Amino acid sequence: MQTRPLPFLIILLLSVLLLPGCSNLNCTRLESLLGGHVNLVRLGADIGDRLIDEAVPPLVPRQVNRPVLVTTLVENTKLGKSSDFGRTLQNHIASRFVRRGYTVREIKLRSDLLILQGEGEFMLSRDLEQLADRQRAQAVVVGTYSLADRVMYLNVRLVRPGDRTILATWDKRLCLDERTLRMLGLQFQEDTDIKPPAESVLDRILY
């Protein structure tokens, strides 16, 4: 009986174990073999769960008259401009809050509904605070991201309007794939020393 070589078995085992979170291997030596796309549905669910579970004081579900406002995520240096990435992730975060029993109202980015930058900190604009007050919102979800080549540093906060208290936060470093870069309106620069994203062997086999 012919046995399979040990490296093949190791790769097969890693493929099975890492399949649900293979985008975590992006920007590593294993990216070309086991890397994957950033799953925005799962990412939005993770963000929603973290904000809900760690909010202090906790949010109150099933309060039709006390909604949670979810805003469009924006880039740190371009607070007045949104992207397909920011809008899509906003939708998935909002969906998670709804699935967890919260009334949600989405706030699409407008020039009069910005997050203001002041001395290194981000705060709700006066217009957004007033809107939250009119809606009797118990909290507002705001998020920003910074980009460096393929790397994104993402920060999402659950803020109580009125006193701007941060109830919960979520932070993550993401290594972006080609699809996510396109959602940000970016193309990879070929003249850099960093290798551009490429579809992994695992994705080519499975999809």
pLDDT tens profile 156-201: 999 998 888 999 999 999 888 888 888 998 755 554 444 444 554 4
Environment class of 108 (CB within 10 Å of its CB; exposed 0-12, middle 13-18, buried 19+): exposed
pLDDT tens profile 28-46: 555 455 556 788 999 999 9
* pLDDT above 70 (res 89): yes
pTM for the whole structure: 0.74
Residue 109 per-residue DSSP state: -
Residue 60 per-residue DSSP state: -
pLDDT tens profile 103-151: 999 887 655 555 555 544 455 666 777 788 888 899 999 999 999 888 8
Q: Which phi and psi (to 5°) does residue 46 adopt? A: -60, -45
Domain ranges, ordered by start, for the chain:
1-37+195-207, 39-175
Q: Residue 134: what pLDDT?
A: 84
Q: Residue 132: what pLDDT?
A: 83
Q: Which CATH architecture describes the domain 39-175?
A: 3-Layer(aba) Sandwich (3.40)
Helix (H, G, I), strand (E, B) or coil at 23: helix
Side-chain-side CA neighbours of residue 74 (13 Å): 23
pLDDT tens profile 71-82: 889 888 887 778
Within 121-166, residue ranges assigned H as helices are: 126-135
- Quickly tell me which residue has 């939005």 as its tokens: 44
Instruction: Kindly give, in sequence order, each residue whose CB lies less than 8 Å from that of residue 154, ignoring residues fewer than 6 positions away.
Output: 73, 143, 144, 145, 170, 171, 172, 173, 174
Q: Which phi and psi (to 5°) does residue 132 adopt? A: -60, -35
